[in-house]
Structure 1
Amino acid sequence: MFSYIKYPFLIFTALMIFSCDEDFLETRPTDAISAADALATEANLSLVINGMHRTMYAQGQTVLPGGTAVASSNRAGDHYWVPLGDNLAGGLIHSANANNLGWRDEAQWTSHTDQTSLTVETLWYHRYNTITNANSIINKVAEGELPETPTLNEIVGQAYAYRAFSYLSLVQHYSKGYLIGNPSTDPGVPLLLATEAPFESAPRGTVQQVYDQINADLDAAISSFENASARPTGSAFDKANLNIDVAWGLKARTALATGDWATAATAAVNARQDYPIMGEDDWKAGFNTTLLPEVMWGSNVITTETTFFRSYFYLASNTFNGSQVRNNPKIADRRLIDAAPDTDYRKDMFLVDAPNSNLSASNGMGGFANNTNPLYTTEEEFEAEIDRLATVWGWTSAHNTHPYMHVKLRQQQPGGIEPDDIIYMRASEMYLIEAEAKAMMDDLSGAQEAIRPLGEERDSAYDPTVFDTQEEFIEHIKFQRGIELWGEGFLFQDKIRWDDPIDHAANGGSGASEVLYQDGFFQEKPSMNPKWVFKIPLSEINANPNLTSADQNP
């Protein structure tokens, strides 16, 4: 029995939140709807799917009743989990000491390595609740009582894709990386396929068994979507729905993680067909809406949600009006940005020459008295640039600035507290997956041509043929993923796949402070270091009869 998962409450929650139709609301109170009724009709199953969309970004206490940790307001779904991938891996760098929501603890590697932490418990619980809800739909439809329609196929396709996404998230955080371990024997995560309490699962299976389930679910999702109604278009909410393109995208991610290079390349091409690469104006627009043309999947965050100071933009943006942001502008690894040519417009979104206005900056270089940038020969010039940046980018006079701070992630109303949308999948990622997969298959010319459309759009002088060995091209892929997907949550899993360490001191340094970062300043490569694997929540070990202390990750 999974910790806190004691009854099918997500069915109830989905109906409670998304029962917006007046006729439905007038029939009976939502808290009186049984699980059987919630699964009785195609329309009700659609409401359950909508509830799953909301749990991707809502604060825990609003949709996940249960224990103290899982119902905490301090984690708002993928508002937290998406930027966590860059925070943990040292891509999204803290310039000063601030710890709202434990965000500094994550960077210092003191959270995911603690079996009682809010992070390990909430991520586990969130993903398994998504799985529980998906199981309810999948198992109900499998009974064959509902007539098959394009809409029903669309619903069940989303359920399979959600389950695959959740297991992929779990196995990539709570188990050793597929390519650096022994997947046939390394412990994975428990597989839960039941619909009703007590939600008995198997013990920890192997990593391979979990990936086999993920691939089976994605194949089932794709098959369902092939006979489904098309996803609507035109509103930001539409892309909250998973469709066949998202399923192919998840297939590409899964294959990349497992070294199935041919499948990764093919799936990536299938996924991106209907999503043109964004141009410069869109790339520089702030990454705050799922309406961007190459966005394949994302959460359309309802503006009335109270996720303001729990949002993605609060944790990762430099324009949000919160203390985490004002006191601690997030910077990019200067080694990454310095490697970008001036002909690459993505470099414009990282303010290399921003003055260090923060007297509490962790590098001790805040204020004009410590200025070493020859662009500012007087304090007046230094202060004038600080004021100019605030005017251009919309933050307040209370916001600090710092060299290499980013302006890639910005709300639609900079200087405010609106949460805005969360982007989960873009077409650019699919070009990068195809290119990496072909390079790993020793198809260097194919890899060069795969990345050419993306590179030529971003860099007016781009020529992929200069990277003419597999080693050079893979290093180039690391750069391209680093700058293209910066802040979008991929770096932690990328480093595991590439077996790369975190080393903020190497090659001139990243700009991070060793005093601030502590254990997060250097971590040995994942194949040599068990700390890359999240601890299983102690509460789960205590509550689940199929787990014991011997199942805890080292």
Structure 2
Amino acid sequence: MKNIKLHCKKLTIFSSLFLAFALSSCHSDYLETDPTTAVSESAAYSSASNLMAIINGMHRDMYYRQNSSQGQNGQGGMMIILDALGEDLVFPSTGNGWYISTVRWQDQANATSDVTFYPYQFYYALIRNANMVIANGPSVPAPTDADNVTIKKAIGEAYAFRAFCYYMLVQIYGKRYVPGANNTQLGVPLRLLADEVPMKRNSVEEVYVQINKDLDEAYTRLVGTTRAAKSHFDANVISGLKARVALTQGNYPLAVSSAKLARAGYGLMDKATYAAGFNNLSNGEWIWGATIVSDQTDYFGNFGAYMSRNYNSTNIRQAPKAMNSKLYGLFPATDVRRQLVDPTGNHTSLSLPSNYSKFPYTSQKFLSVSLSDSRMDVPYMRAAEMYLIEAEALARQGNEAESKLIFNQLMLNRNSSYTASSNTGTAYINDVLNSRRIELWGEGFRFLDLKRLNQNLDRTGANHSSVVDNNVMTVSNTDKRWEFLIPMKEIDANPLIEQNPL
């Protein structure tokens, strides 16, 4: 069977998108639904099921390694990168070297770094396929009503993919969005067609306008439909993405209403489930995530091979991931989120082999299937995040009373002994933000939150190692490195692109 390799063809015009896509697509079949099922190129847009197969393949690439680097395993790899840049995910040892140059803030300042290139490659590859589904989907034959529904869902998911990817790209490579400003600062090239024409960078504002437009289109097409699995987009996920974007833009009324819609039908998990390993997509609190089945595992490239406490990899044995001790100290022992962190590092409940290094404040939030199996479902969006968005947005509107009603629901679930905060104003908002830090630890939010909030990085006074961090203990909010450099491959190929300040 000839499986489709959509974009490995030779082109005479190079651009950011072609380079980003070509280097990834030659390693991955974007129409695969599983390793043994794919469709030919000639059949790609010949049926509704084949159109949805493209979407299935895109969801697969959200967790599957796109190149030879095992540390770049889709969205899970991006989650680690973005938290490694923050202060709450602590690397107590250099281990076997994975992500250490990221921890040291070296990668995003190096235009030839794999870490600088990877987000560009990963997200633009998905965008290109989304553009092709959006362009070709309307002409796909639909002999039955069921086919019409499938096509509508596939196109809706393509719009959702494009919005999600541009939201990630503009935050990583562009300057922060400033609520109330014109936001004419450089964002990323806004490519809405699957072509290879060189493009200038659009403004941050222009990118966000398109993100919101795509999310609205995705919601219209997906509302009232059901999805095949939680790995796919539906109206709840789209609402959650709208809530994230609205919070970033300072559109607090929209953030509140969207977060409320996103968490509808998704209750907060109980304490026993919270402590069970954060590895099961069937968790009633998880709105969106990835399941890695046994015949699609990436072994040492999976999220669990770096972030779990129990998998038998060199990285886990030598450099288990710890929580910032100052963050840990902000919460009482009765808070279940703190109970996932062992201040001694021994983790006696896991019966870890003697060759596992023990460091204080290591976390067992994430557990893989076993010592010999790194697989674990990866959380992309949970109801708890929506509670926190809603609480923060309400507080920033000055509606603290309603904010506390929402915030208290989450806090009482995590700590049955919780007493409602008497803080007001900035102090209360900091309560919400600190809860967000511990709640979403390891899930890829911290670097982007620091950038959104225009805060400095501060690793001082905690359990960070100056040797591991290379003395990068503080970074000013005005530092150039908050924007990743545009990859050199893009600079070389696209004569219209402009580099970020070096």
TM-score (norm 1): 0.83
Q: Does 1:492 align with 2:447?
A: yes
- Asked whether the 8 Å contact 2:243–2:389 carries over to 1, the reply is yes
Structural mapping, 1:75-224, within 5 Å: 75-101=72-98, 103-143=99-139, 146=142, 149-179=148-178, 184-195=183-194, 198-200=195-197, 202-224=199-221
Q: 1:339 to 1:6 in 2, by over 3 A?
A: closer
How many residues were matched structurally? 483
Shift of 1:221: 0.4
Per the alignment, residue 9 of structure 2 pairs with: none
CA contact (8 A) 2:46 2:141 kept: no
> Could you tell me how far 1:546 is from its partner in structure 2?
2.5
Q: CA deviation at 1:465?
A: 4.1
CA distance, structure 1, for counterparts of residue 212 and residue 351 of structure 2:
44
SS of match in other structure, 2:296: coil
Aligned 8 A contact 2:303 2:378 in 1? yes
Contact 1:115 1:535 survives alignment (8 Å):
yes
Once residues 274 and 163 of structure 1 are traced to their aligned partners in structure 2, the CA distance between those partners, rounded to angstroms, is 26
- Residues 405-444 of structure 1 aligned to structure 2 (within 5 Å): 405-413=362-370, 415-444=371-400
Q: Is the alpha carbon distance of 1:163 and 1:519 closer, same or farther for their aligned partners in structure 2, counting shifts above 3 Å?
A: farther
**How does 1:320-469 map onto structure 2 within 5 Å?**
320-354=311-345, 386=346, 389-390=347-348, 392-413=349-370, 415-467=371-423, 469=424
1-side partners of 2:28 and 2:316: how far apart?
A: 36
Given that 1:160 and 1:217 are in contact with CA atoms closer than 8 Å, whether structure 2 keeps it comes out as yes
CA change 1:193–1:420 in 2 (3 A) is same
Aligned equivalents of 2:133, 2:92: Cα separation in 1? 45
More helix by share: 1
Deviations 1:37-63 (A, max 9, x none): 3022111011101100111111113xx
Partner of 1:379: none
Give the corresponding residue for 1:64.
none
2:496 counterpart of 1:546: yes
Aligned to 1:480: 435
Task: Give the Cα separation in 2 of the matches to 1:181 and 1:518.
Answer: 37
User: What is the rounded CA distance, in whole Å, between the counterparts of 1:529 and 1:407 in structure 2?
Assistant: 33
Letter in 2 for 1:518: N
The Cα shift of 1:5 comes to 5.2
- Give the conservation status (yes or no) of the 8 Å contact 1:11–1:133: no
One-letter amino acid of the counterpart of residue 530, structure 1: K
Task: Report the CA distance between 1:530 and its aligned residue.
Answer: 1.5
How far does residue 183 in structure 1 lie from its aligned partner after superposition?
A: 5.1
Is the CA contact 1:191–1:201 (under 8 Å) kept in the aligned structure 2?
no
Distance 2:441 2:28 in 1: 37
Residue deviations 1:56-107, cap 9 Å, x none? 111113xxxxxxxxx5444211221112222110211011122433x11110
Specify every segment of 5 or more residues in structure 1 that has no aligned partner in the other structure, as ranges. 62-70, 233-237, 355-385
Contact 1:10 1:133 in 2 (8 A): no
Q: CA deviation at 1:285?
A: 0.8
Kindly provide the amino acid, as one letter, of the partner of residue 171 in structure 1. V
Change (3 A) 1:545 1:416: same
Residue by residue, what CA displacement relative to the aligned partner does 1:225-273 show, whole Å, maximum 9, x if unpaired?
125x3124xxxxx111111111000000000111111100110000000
Q: Within 1, Cα distance between the matches of 2:451 and 2:156?
A: 29
Listed one character per residue, the Cα deviations across residues 446-479 of structure 1 (whole Å, up to 9, x for unaligned) are 1111212111111112233422x12111110121
- Report the RMSD for the aligned CA atoms in angstroms: 2.2
Q: Which residue of 1 aligns with 2:19?
A: 4
Choose which of 510, 517, 524 in structure 1 pairs with 2:476. Answer: 524
User: Which region of structure 1 is more displaced relative to structure 2, 264-273 or 536-545?
Assistant: 536-545
Whether 1:302 and 2:293 are equivalent positions in the alignment is yes
CA, structure 1 residues 326+460, in 2 after alignment: closer, same or farther (shift >3 Å)? Answer: same
Task: Tell me, in whole angstroms, the C-alpha distance in 2 between the residues paired with 1:12 and 1:519.
Answer: 39
Alignment-derived partner of residue 3 in structure 2: none
**CA distance in 1: counterparts of 2:257 and 2:351, whole angstroms:** 42
**Structure 2 CA distance, aligned partners of 1:48 and 1:347?**
41
The residue type equivalent to 1:173 in the other structure is: I
Letter in 2 for 1:501: N
- 1:53: which partner in 2? 59
Does residue 236 of structure 2 align to residue 245 of structure 1? Answer: yes
Deviation at 1:318, TM superposition (A): 2.1
CA–CA separation in structure 2 for the residues paired with 1:44 and 1:11 = 20
Deviation at 1:537, TM superposition (A): 0.2
Superposition TM-score, scaled by structure 2 size:
0.91
Contact 2:177–2:183 under 8 Å retained in 1: no
2:29 alignment partner, one of 2, 8, 13: 13
The 2-side partners of 1:454 and 1:281 are apart by 15
8 A contact 1:319–1:394 mirrored in 2? no
Quick one: structure 1 residues 208 and 11, their matched pair in 2 at CA, closer, same or farther if it must change by over 3 Å?
A: farther
Separation in 2 of the partners of 1:266 and 1:280? 27
- Return the letter of the residue paired with 1:282: T
Rg comparison, structure with higher value: 1
CA spacing shift, 1:18–1:416, aligned 2, 3 Å: closer
* Amino acid in structure 2 at the alignment position of 1:209: E
Change (3 A) 1:181 1:265: closer
Cα offset, 1:512, TM superposition: 0.5
Structure 1 pair 464/77, CA: closer, same or farther in 2 (3 Å)?
Answer: same
Contact 1:12 1:38 (C-alpha < 8 Å) held by counterparts: no
Q: Structure 2 unaligned runs (5+)?
A: 1-14
Superposed CA offset, 1:514-549 (max 9, x none): 232125321112xx11211111101011112321xx
CA 1:146 to 1:190, structure 2 compared with 1: closer, same or farther past 3 Å?
A: farther
Matched, 1:265 2:215: no
Q: What is the CA-CA distance between 1:117 and the residue it aligns to?
A: 0.5
Closer, same or farther: CA 323–180 of 1 in aligned 2, 3 Å? farther
Quick one: distance in 2 between partners of 1:341 and 1:208? 41
CA distance in structure 2 between the aligned counterparts of 1:158 and 1:59, rounded to whole angstroms: 21
Change over 3 Å in CA distance of 1:289–1:140 after alignment to 2: same
Query: Which SS does the other structure have where 2:107 is aligned?
Result: coil
Please give the secondary structure, in 2, of the residue aligned with 1:425.
strand
What's the CA shift for 1:324? 1.3
User: What residue is the counterpart of 1:370 in the other structure?
Assistant: none
**8 Å contact kept, 2:483–2:500:** no
Secondary structure of 1:423's match? strand
Query: Deviation at 1:220?
Result: 0.2
Alignment CA distance shift 1:4-1:181 (3 Å): farther
| Equivalent position of 2:45 in the other structure | 39
